[in-house]
Homo-oligomer: A and B are copies of this chain.
Amino acid sequence: MDDRPIGVFDSGLGGLTAVRELRRILPAEDIIYFGDTARLPYGNRPRETILKYARQDMAFLRGFDLKAVLVACGTVSTTSLDVLQAENDIPVLGVVEPSVRSALALTRSGRVGMVATVASVRSGAYQRLFRALAPAVEVTAAACPLFVPLVENGRVAPGDIVIETVAREYLSPIRDAGVDALVLGCTHYPLLTGVIGAVMGPSVALIDSGAAAALALRDLLAERDALARPRQGQAAYYTSDRAEDFRRLAGLFLREDTAPQVEQVDIDRYGL
C-alpha cells in the first residue's frame, strides 16, 4: 500500500485524457496534474529546450511526495524519457512503450498504424520500438498536424465536415495499408475516436496512448504493492498559464461536466 499521489504532466491539456483513464481504473489514487500551457506546443522546440522544460515540470511535481510520474506528453516521451528516469528515484512512465506493446498484443495481421504530431513521427521513437520488439511487424505512420488545433477548437464530433475531411486525408493511406491496430500517439487524439473509427472501420483497434500508459502504471504499482488503499482519490490541477483558460477546456478532455479547480504556477522558477 502506498497512498502517495501519482504525478502526471503534459505540455497542455491533452494529458487529461490519461488522467481520466487513471481515475477510471484507479479511483483510489490521488493525482497531481501539471499542464504547461504557457509554453506549449513542445513539439517544434529544440531538443535541449524540451529537456529543460521537462526537468522543470518534474521539479514542480516532485515538490509533492509522489510515488510515480506518468509523462503524458508524447514529445517528452520520445525525446527525454531516459534522462528523466535516470534523474529520478521513482518510476517514470512514458506513453510510447505501453501503446506499442498494446498494439502488438492486438494485431493479428502484423500490420499496425501510428498517428501522432509531426515531432513524434519525425523522432522515429514509435517505429524504432516496434522494430525492436517485433521486427516482422509492418508499421505505417502518419503525422496529423491539424488534429490538435481542431480538437482544441472543439471540432471533434462525427458529422463535422472539417474534421471528417482532414481525418480522411490523413488516415486513408493507413487504412489502405490494411492495418488492424492503430496507435493514437498523441493525447489529444482520443477525443477523435468517433471520427477516426468511422474512417478506419470497425475491425481496426484504436489504441489510446494515455489509456495504455495508465494501464501500464496500474500493473507496475500492483506489482510493487504500491496501490492506494480503497478510498475516493482526489485530483489536483496546475497550469502555467491562465487557470480560467485551462478550466474552460478541461471538461472536454476529462469528459466531465464540472470544471475542476485549477491553480496557476510560475513554472520558470522551478528546477534551474
Contacts and interface: CB of A to CB of B under 8 A. Distances in A.
A171 to B, nearest CB: 15
Interface stretch (A15-23, A95-103, A145-153, A179-187): A145-153
Interface in A29-62: 37-38, 40, 44-46, 49
Given A153-B145, A162-B162, A44 B49 contact: no
A44 B37 CA distance: 9
Contacts of A161: 161-162, 165
A107 to B, nearest CB: 30
Contact of A38 (B37, B44, B146): B44
A72 to B, nearest CB: 20
A99 to B, nearest CB: 25
Contact of A165 (B44, B49, B152, B162): B162
A222 interface: no
A198 interface: no
A129 interface: no
A264 to B, nearest CB: 10
A138 interface: no
Contacts of A153: 145-146
Contacts of A44: 37-38, 40, 241
A177 interface: no
A41 to B, nearest CB: 9
A46 B241 contact: yes
Interface string A230-256: 000000000001000000000000000
Interface in A143-177: 145-146, 149-150, 152-153, 155, 161-162, 165-166
Contacts of A46: 38, 241
Contact of A149 (B40, B49, B146, B165): B146
12 contacts: A38-B44, A38-B45, A38-B46, A40-B44, A145-B153, A146-B150, A149-B149, A161-B161, A161-B165, A162-B162, A162-B165, A162-B166
Given A145-B149, A145-B153, A161-B162, 16 more contacts: A38-B44, A38-B49, A40-B44, A44-B241, A45-B241, A46-B241, A145-B152, A146-B149, A146-B153, A146-B155, A149-B149, A161-B161, A161-B165, A162-B162, A162-B165, A162-B166
Closest 3 CB pairs of A and B: A149-B149, A162-B165, A162-B162
